[in-house]
Chain A
């Protein structure tokens, strides 16, 4: 695997040349500071660009073209990385060894044409596409309850802050949707090309010079970009007493969530000690929570702890009968206290590290994971795989104990239904 980075004033191209894959993957990322009122607009924009283009003015025509290129697949995603909002488009197509000569050029041109030659007339997006996408976004916003586990986590995060980015809902907001027009959406599109930090990633068995010139010839961005700063969210205030919230929903399984804030962590703690801590507490089927809440007490099917590293947050979540929620909470608290007191076996630390290191070692098996590795390096000048493994190995029991005292329960959130 070979990594080449080309830096230009308006964007960077990162090529990861590898012969592991039969496909070529290309991804373009637009990054800026997140604003709550822009979330819905950004979602709208990413969807409308893959709904139709000037040359293929409907979703159907776009899809027919993509099939014609041997299923050259374009997808889009919006995500939040701490303080930043990342809008990405990606393309995956078969290496032309497995199709026809010329397919690489055609697929890449089709991809950039879709993004940079939108279905716009007189500074307005095409109304037909606009209305279809508006309905789709509305449906998505309204489908927030389809997954109760996620919904309960969103509700908990809302209770944990006021205007911090982790309280924002990624699906967007109906009141913002109503403000979007074919005209101001196009304004926003132009603004993104002008102001967002742009990174392009290519993974596959490609000729580096050829791919770089293909990208340069098709990328219509030429404004100089400013540095964005740090994506990591720091918490100013930490509650001295945890807050307890219970809310009723018409559900069968109740959800118990615990949100924790992390304060004053060193880089080493946030990037490495925390991984080990989380793995031991609730990151796997060997974790303290899995063993005690599920295996010993049969209270739940799933119980996990998960990190939001860029948000300095740790979340614990499980689904259970309402009557068992106090018992489960006590077990979870007890296990967190055990972490603080250092009631951790050397074997637990060893197993946790082994799991993390294996996961790091196999990043190179997946184009998507390779891209996210290099993207995180671009964002926070993160370490490479070998360095990461070395740092994980350095974590000691004392490191974990001292980190544990910096993890504070902020909110205990129970979404309850009726037990029967």
Chain B
């Protein structure tokens, strides 16, 4: 097991890769009482065209299948479901599906060794029948319908759909009511067998536990199981154009104030050959500085009454492109969009902006250790996005400099944009 000091925060990271390929990341904090453990497969909603294990033919499965599978993992052969098992020790259990990963988790201060074994066991065993698959469809239908009434959710889905042409980031994570009714037991099994192999998964534990005892438990647990050794799953590659699919669209919902998202599609390969991680940090700094709460832009927009609260600035990354989305509410959409267009024609960041941003990054990176969930989430997102998490992540922000930032600014092409507007129904006004 590797043991690394995280300087500045004065914490320790433990890392190990087991023989079957499973990776384990641990940061103990014995000041708190709780433990938070997550078990993640690098498999999310975007992985719907791939070559299944034991096959050499690329297949395509219905949209929303990763999320459907997450639901079905909570059914077990012995009839005791994971919620039931965990609740006996007062432990909370949950799971969620994202674009690039599916994560199973528990949090609780009791029964940790049994809990971590159980987490591994239930996720590494699929038990489904045709009946149980059918039964789940009504539940997921209601989950999707709940999201459909949420104007912000509709907007997140809408903007991705209009920005991307080929990349499956385009589609809703949970699929559609229509697509989920097409999902069969066989589809689910194919996806499960391919993506739930330990070589495609990792465990992250934060909170109050002993890393040595825990790693031994995980090792023993894995040694008892037989998994087929696996190469990296072959996933379909997409040629994604820099152009957006549709640059303007509006829909109507049961709301009283316009909500908008203004998406900018950026080709990452054109930003030079600095690390992906740094690229993303610079992109964040640039857009937060230009449009965030400390920007002159925001101040002017509030004075003109185009905005009354800060913009949300959302960032999504695919292998090839970034999607930066400005999200907000406004009574003057046309005027506001013109102002954003104008600002994007003149991108400028000062040295003081960069220094301020570094202070914020420092603060966020340290504060995170006070919350075992935030810390765990950060590790997961690093592993998913950059392949690993290491002890130098805090130091990285100190390396940021004006020279690199200026180079990025010069190369940054912000001309590919799309707007998605949600308006009140005509008769609501």
Contact = CB atoms under 8 A, between A and B. Distances in A.
Given A145-B254, A354-B90, A355-B87, A253 B148 contact: yes
Range of interface residues on A (Cβ < 8 Å): 35 or more
Contacts of B93: 285
Interface in A343-398: 350-351, 354-359, 361-362, 364-367
Interface stretch (B181-189, B238-246, B271-279, B294-302): B294-302
A22 B359 contact: no
B87 A351 contact: yes
Interface in B32-70: 32-34
Range of interface residues on B (Cβ < 8 Å): 35 or more
A67 interface: yes
Interface string B117-149: 000000000000000000111111011011011
B356 A139 contact: no
Contacts of B369: 22
B333 interface: no
A59 B293 contact: yes
A253 B93 CA distance: 26
A132 B301 CA distance: 10
Contact of A139 (B87, B329, B360, B425): B329
Contact of B308 (A60, A136, A148): A136
Given A285-B83, A294-B139, A298-B138, A148 B295 contact: no
Contacts of B89: 354, 358
A230 B39 CA distance: 46
A182 interface: no
A301 interface: yes
Interface stretch (A30-38, A244-252, A269-277): A244-252
B138 A143 contact: no
B303 A132 contact: yes
Given A148-B149, A351-B87, A98 B8 contact: yes
A357 B9 CA distance: 31
Contacts, number: 163
A145 B252 CA distance: 14
A21 B83 contact: no
A228 interface: no
B119 to A, nearest CB: 16
Contacts of A300: 139, 142
B346 interface: no
B109 interface: yes
A22 B9 contact: yes
Interface in A138-163: 138-139, 142-149
Contact of A135 (B87, B136, B308, B425): B308
B31 interface: yes
A94 interface: yes
A70 interface: yes
Contacts of B299: 58-60
A68 to B, nearest CB: 7
Contact of A250 (B32, B293, B367, B425): B425
Contacts of A355: 87, 90, 92
B370 A21 contact: yes
A320 interface: yes
Interface string B63-94: 00000000000000000000110011111110
B177 to A, nearest CB: 9
A266 B294 CA distance: 52
Given A22-B9, A58-B299, A362-B34, A67 B139 contact: no
A187 interface: no
B8 to A, nearest CB: 7
Nearest to A364: B33
A94 B142 contact: no
A12 interface: no
A71 interface: yes
B309 A136 contact: yes
Given A64-B294, A355-B90, A365-B34, A98 B366 contact: yes
Interface in B336-377: 356, 359-360, 362-364, 366-367, 369-372
Given A94-B363, A132-B303, A354-B87, A60 B294 contact: yes
Nearest to A47: B309
Interface string A278-311: 0000001110000000100011111000000000
A147 B151 CA distance: 8
A60 B142 contact: no
Contact of B294 (A63, A148, A298): A63
B305 interface: yes
Contacts of B90: 354-359
Contact of A362 (B109, B256, B302): B109
A99 B372 CA distance: 21
A68 B356 contact: yes
Contacts of A286: 83-84, 87
B87 A146 contact: no
B110 interface: yes
Given A250-B425, A361-B33, A63 B308 contact: no
B73 to A, nearest CB: 14
Contacts of B91: 358
Interface string B282-304: 00000000000111101100110
Contact of A128 (B87, B110, B303): B303
B108 interface: yes
A354 B90 CA distance: 5
A253 B256 CA distance: 19
A71 B359 contact: yes
A365 B33 contact: yes
Contact of B255 (A145, A321, A350): A145
Interface in A56-111: 58-60, 63-64, 67-68, 70-71, 92, 94, 98-99
B379 to A, nearest CB: 17
Closest 7 CB pairs between A and B? A358-B90, A298-B138, A71-B363, A354-B90, A301-B143, A136-B308, A135-B308
12 contacts: A59-B298, A68-B359, A132-B308, A139-B308, A142-B257, A251-B149, A253-B149, A298-B139, A354-B89, A354-B110, A358-B110, A362-B32
Given A250-B425, A298-B138, A362-B109, 9 more contacts: A71-B363, A139-B257, A149-B146, A286-B87, A298-B136, A299-B138, A301-B140, A320-B142, A358-B91
Interface of B: 8-9, 31-34, 83-84, 87-93, 108-110, 135-140, 142-143, 145-146, 148-152, 254-257, 293-296, 298-299, 302-303, 305, 308-309, 329, 356, 359-360, 362-364, 366-367, 369-372, 425
